[in-house]
Homo-oligomer: A and B are copies of this chain.
C-alpha cells in the first residue's frame, strides 16, 4: 500500500517536494482509531502544509475487518486492511506503528515487536505505559526509535508536550490534574442535580461516558495510570505505578458534595504529584478545591492539568480528555513529531520521559501516612453535651488543629447530628490516629468520612 492510494492529489504535491510520505500502520480501529483515520483523511492537506510531507495510513489491523473496511470507506481514502497485527509491525514499508488496541498483554507484545523491527511507535495506551513503560522505553532506546504517547494523558490537550518541552526550563514543584473525564462528569452531575453516585453512573453509561465495567474510571485507576506518567516526566524518575495511592469516587456521598459547597468547595477527583524534601507524593483521591480556583470550575467530561514550575509559576491546561477526535488530535500530533525526527540522531530527540535516560533517578514515593494534607472530616454524633469536647480532644492529642467547623441542627425527631470539620495541614498518620480515637467514642455513630483538601497554590 503506497501513499498514492490514500490521496493522489497530495502525493503528487509531495512528489514535487523533497520528503516522501510517511507510512503508518494502525493497530485497532475502534473509537480512537476511527477518529484518527477520519481526521488524517479530512485534514490531510492542512497536515501536509504543516509537516512538509504527507502522513498516510497504509495498513489497518483489526480483528473486526468488516468494521475496519466500513471506517476506511467512510473516510473516502484507501488503506489495506488485515486481521493480522503482527504482519503490520514487521512490514518493511511501515515507518510508524500506532497502537490503539489497549490493555497490557497483546499491546505490550506488539509494541515490543514493532520496536524490535525498528519501527517508531505512537500509542494512547496509558495502562500499558504505566505498567510496562520502563521496559518499553528501554527497548526503544536500545533500538533507537521513538515511542510517543501524547494521547495517553489528557486526550487532545498537549500536556505531555507542555511538560517535556514547553516547561523544560523549570524545576517542577507539583502537578494536580482532573485527568479522568468519566469521574469528572459523574461528580459534576452529582453536584448540579444533587443525585446519588449510582444514579449518575447509570446516566453516564447510557450517554457513553462510562463503560459497562466502569472500574478503571470510577476507582481512580485510569487517573493513576496517567498521573504516574506525568510524575515521571515532571521529576525525572522511573514510572512507578504500583506506588501510587489510589482512591476513587464510588464511595463518595452526595451529602459531602453539598457540605463541601457550604464551605465554598467543590469536590474533584484529582491526581496529585508533588516534590517534597522527603520524597514524592503520588496520589489520586477525591479532593476539596476552593470554588474560586479555575480548576474547580472545570466541569463535565473536560480534563484540566495544573502544573507548578519554579520559574513559570502555575499554568493550567484544559480540554476534552477523551473521545474519538480529541484523542486522534494527540495521536496525529505525535505522528507529525515522529515524522520530523525520522532523520534525527536519537541523542538530539526529546527523551521519552523528558529527562535523558542516564539522568533518570529514582526518588522515594511517600506512603500516604507520611503525606501532609488538610482534611475534611464528617462524623455523625449523638446530640448530647460533651461529645464535641471529646472529639476536639482526640484531634488535639494527635496534633491536628481545626480550621473551620459546622455542627448541623438535628432533623425533626432525630437524636444525632452531623459535624463537619476542616483541618489545618497535618501529616496523615496523625489524622489516621485521631480518626481511630474518634470512631471509638461511644457517641460517634459509624465511620468518620475523610476527604482531602488542596489549596493548589
Contact = CB atoms under 8 A, between A and B. Distances in A.
A325 B312 contact: yes
B316 A316 contact: yes
A114 to B, nearest CB: 21
Interface stretch (A62-70, A154-162, A427-435): A154-162
A457 to B, nearest CB: 14
Contact of A359 (B49, B170, B317): B49
> Can you tell how many copies of this chain the complex includes?
2
A204 to B, nearest CB: 19
A105 interface: no
Given A158-B167, A347-B18, A348-B341, A329 B356 contact: no
Interface in A339-372: 340-345, 347-351, 354-356, 359
Contact of A356 (B50, B312, B331): B50
A168 B177 CA distance: 24
Contact of A47 (B39, B49, B168, B331): B168
Interface residues of A, number: 72
Contacts of A330: 166, 169, 312
A330 B52 CA distance: 26
B43 A310 contact: yes
Given A39-B311, A343-B344, A328 B47 contact: no
Q: What 5 A-B pairs are tightest by C-beta distance, nearest first?
A: A158-B166, A169-B332, A315-B319, A156-B312, A49-B359
Interface of A: 18-19, 35, 39-40, 42-43, 46-52, 150, 155-158, 161-162, 164-171, 236, 294, 297-298, 309-320, 323, 325-326, 328-333, 335-337, 340-345, 347-351, 354-356, 359
Given A51-B168, A156-B313, A317-B317, 9 more contacts: A39-B169, A43-B310, A50-B355, A156-B309, A158-B315, A294-B294, A294-B298, A311-B326, A318-B318
10 contacts: A39-B170, A43-B169, A52-B356, A157-B312, A169-B330, A297-B297, A314-B319, A315-B317, A315-B318, A344-B344
